Chains A and B, each alone.
Chain A
């Protein structure tokens, strides 16, 4: 109530020169910053739409005279198989790790046992770990099980290293579900799986969306694990192909920009369509315990 009253009072505050100047300054800065953050995207688009001969350094900021799709077509030709690989890797990995995360989060939130909170913190170490710290053993282990250089190996790797963050996100979400609800369904005869299936699952769509999008974005955008586990150019994920569009001597800028744009489209699309869940993921992934 107080907050509403305050807002109302502020709105009625008369326009003074000082206040006007402040507003102009705020919007000026915001527009400048927005332009700064959009600048790379602008360049990405216009360069991708120019024919190679026209990618003239001195005119790099100018709009293309006519739309030329050869950049996109060549770019797509170069990264298409890898784009499909990325779909094959990312979708199952995101779905499986969300499911595992929902189970773990459910247990950490609603079936606490002695030491479970400590165990949870120990899980989180895996989320902050620089992956370099596990690369050598990872390669060795995957080789031992003949999973090195395979799509399945990469999917499994992403699922395993997704355990900490997905457990964290689901735990926060399920912690918000009142314990009374869980206790009441226990009295009604629900067991461990019954509570999950009939009480929590029906209300967890937002959590699945947040975690699924988070995992999708991170796995799609991954370069390090992909290049380590699956560097074979035929099987590698799309980001590795995008990197490889840069020749060692000359770079066809338009093709590389188009390939980069194509590779970025799925996550950009998800972000624009489901931004609310993406934002929640940002916050759930860091501050809340």
Chain B
């Protein structure tokens, strides 16, 4: 009895906002969960609940929608099994075009961002004058929104004007093309996306390059490694964690392209610039086919999980 009383007073002293609760439950309350430690948990709790509901609960909810026949503004949850998924992958021509567009977009966007980003970082790492100027210019598009980027590039890629005109001035007329109006229009959209995101990838690589031990590079050079070999066998392998991050981020960017398409071309003639996100948006907000939209959304989550899962696993190792 005495011991229990004295422990209660100690708790009450450092108890913070949770003191009454711990006092009430006395010795039955676990030792770890007292005083400030309990306060900390209680402060975090609203965020935990918010994430649990708005991230995890909502994802499950979306999956649930994908197994129903909900269409129209009033929600109906009649279970239809995998019907929507079957429809989408077996019978939906627009969806199959979207998948092809995803590949087109991802190839152009990821290659440009990663290759150019690395090249730009390598150039900036050559002790150049005006480094901060170039860095500012390269990263700057990332501060510009997708809509502004799209609106601008729509004008730049407007077939009778823009870049085609530059090609004409340079006598490179054979390079002229219809950009987003062409059958490979998604690649043109990816070009605008890469303009926006390459600077980000460059910043990642530059930080990675700056983190490489200078003595190590020196040693490799003394061993007779030329510039090419140095990059090929030392620098690029050492930067593979950065490349991994860049692949995950650009891959995610490819999956969820939305505002660029909205601003540049919409779904395009024959869905040449359509994307999964755009189809999902239209199916919900224009045709009220919620089950269809939910299925597309659920598929986008599945696809992202393949990229993000391994990434978070590697982060977990870093965290612990």
Contact = CB atoms under 8 A, between A and B. Distances in A.
B208 to A, nearest CB: 8
B166 interface: yes
B156 A39 contact: yes
Contacts of A233: none
Interface in B117-153: 120, 123-124, 126-128, 133-149, 151-153
Interface residues of A, number: 96
Contact of A38 (B137, B301, B319): B137
Contacts of A239: 145, 147-148, 259
Contacts of A58: 161, 165
Contacts of B207: 283, 287
A220 B146 CA distance: 11
Contact of A123 (B51, B127, B133, B162): B51
B47 A104 contact: yes
A206 interface: no
Given A30-B128, A133-B298, A107 B145 contact: no
A286 B144 CA distance: 19
Contact of A26 (B126, B140, B284): B126
B241 to A, nearest CB: 7
Given A57-B161, A192-B36, A192-B43, A242 B148 contact: yes
Given A124-B312, A191-B35, 12 more contacts: A34-B137, A34-B138, A40-B195, A100-B47, A114-B32, A123-B47, A133-B301, A191-B36, A224-B277, A239-B259, A283-B207, A287-B207
B123 A26 contact: yes
Most A Cβ at <10 Å: residue of B141, B145, B195, B307: B145
A-B complex: 4 closest residue pairs judged by Cβ atoms: A221-B145, A289-B318, A111-B40, A271-B143
A37 B57 contact: no
10 contacts: A6-B218, A57-B158, A130-B304, A133-B298, A141-B58, A193-B39, A221-B144, A221-B147, A263-B145, A272-B136
Interface in A244-263: 246, 253, 256-257, 260-261, 263
A73 interface: no
Given A30-B134, A117-B319, A134-B59, A268 B39 contact: no
A217 interface: yes
Interface stretch (B4-12, B80-88, B180-188, B289-297): B289-297
Interface stretch (B21-29, B103-111, B198-206): B198-206
A260 B128 contact: no
A96 interface: no
Interface in A102-134: 103-104, 107-108, 111, 113-114, 117-126, 128-134
A260 B300 contact: no
Interface residues of B, number: 107
A152 interface: no
Interface string B236-271: 000001100100110010011011001100000000
A275 B136 contact: yes
A198 interface: no
A260 B148 contact: yes
A268 B143 contact: yes
A73 B171 CA distance: 38
A177 B123 CA distance: 34
A193 B42 CA distance: 12
A111 B281 CA distance: 41
B140 A60 contact: no
Contacts of A272: 136
Interface in B161-200: 161-162, 165-166, 169, 195, 199-200
Contacts, number: 283
Contact of B315 (A131, A191, A289): A289
B319 A120 contact: yes
Contacts of B252: 128, 130
A151 B276 CA distance: 28
Interface string A175-216: 000000000000000011100000000000000000000000
B48 interface: yes
B162 A60 contact: yes
B145 A61 contact: no
A243 B293 contact: no
B155 A163 contact: no
Given A130-B277, A192-B36, A287-B241, A119 B48 contact: yes
A270 B139 CA distance: 13
A37 B263 contact: no
B214 interface: yes
B290 A136 contact: yes
Contacts of B133: 34
Given A37-B138, A279-B203, A289-B315, A133 B152 contact: no
Contact of B62 (A108, A113, A126, A136): A136
A137 B156 contact: no
B308 interface: yes
Contacts of A120: 319
B180 to A, nearest CB: 13
Given A40-B195, A136-B65, A137-B58, A264 B255 contact: no
Nearest to A110: B40
